[in-house]
Structure 1
Amino acid sequence: MDADALITGDKLIPRGCTFYGFHGAIAEERVLGQKFLVNIDAWMDVRASGISDHLSDTVSYAEIYGIAKEIIEGKAHILLESVAQKIAITTLTQFPHISAIRVNVGKPQVAVRGPVDYLGVQILRRRSDLLN
């Protein structure tokens, strides 16, 4: 069974967020930097905002984007797993209405011998993970 098969319902879906950062296991990556691609699924009940049509009843996509931007463009990490974890936990901590989040962080310009769209990591974190 798919890891997020039990997570259903509404979600916010910032896609194709592109930032420049200095993350990587190779020292040159942390000196020269590179482009990173971020996709996010943030599960939350949006019925109230669907009825009210008020931003105060939901979470702004711009705020989720801002978290990803701040982390990607901020302090360098060696592993993308660490970058994705920080985005996920920061988002869950700041927005209690979000019950789960999937974060995909990719490097579209990675040095490998062969064509790729990107190489990266995808994580899924639930609100219950904050307690552990």
Structure 2
Amino acid sequence: MAAAGKKEEETLVRMGGDKLILRGLRFHGKHGVKPEEKTLGQKFVVDVDAWMDLAAAGDSDDIADTVSYTSIYRIVQDVVEGPSHNLLESVAQSIANSTLLKFHQISAVRVKVEKPHVAVKGVLDCLGVEIFRQRKP
């Protein structure tokens, strides 16, 4: 395992396994470096994992003890459908930063942003990026 991957794994073990999971969020956005990407736009697919302690919510069965999936969904929607970014790295970073800024309960977030329809000669499912960001101590 690469050093970066091992460090991330050790961090996840320390944080525990509790996380909110959002998969396959689909939006139309106008991100990319090509002019046609900024004018016509395209579909983006986003996955988010948000680490936080879910024990209180599990015990209480009360939404006040967790973060609503809908709130994270809206962050993703606002970023992907919002102002254009050149790079997927920047789209993912905006989602991660906004999530950590808005929800103090979330200790780390993993964001994957994919373009399923790209102008590349060859067969592929998608191209994309995945980032992992932790709250700074």
TM-score range, shorter chain: over 0.9
TM-superposed CA distance for 1:27, in Å, is: 1.1
Q: RMSD across aligned C-alpha pairs, in angstroms?
A: 1.1
> Match of 2:30, as an amino acid?
F
Number of the residue aligned with 1:108: 116
How many residues align? The count is 129
Aligned match of 2:27 in 13, 16, 19?
19
Secondary structure in structure 1 of the residue aligned to 2:23: coil
Aligned match of 2:53 in 45, 54, 76?
45
Deviations 1:57-105 (A, max 9, x none): 0000111010000100000000010000000000000000000000000
Return the alpha-carbon distance in structure 2 between the equivalents of residues 117 and 52 of structure 1.
41
In the TM superposition, what are the counterparts of 1:1-132 in structure 2 within 5 Å? Answer: 1=1, 2=5, 3-5=7-9, 6-7=11-12, 8-128=16-136
Unaligned runs of 5+ in 1: none
> Match of 2:106, as an amino acid?
I
Secondary structure in structure 2 of the residue aligned to 1:122: strand
TM-superposed CA distance for 1:115, in Å, is: 1.5
TM-superposed CA distance for 1:4, in Å, is: 2.4
| TM-score using structure 1 length | 0.94
> Match of 1:26, as an amino acid?
K
Question: Percent identity between the aligned chains?
Answer: 55
Unaligned runs of 5+ in 2: none
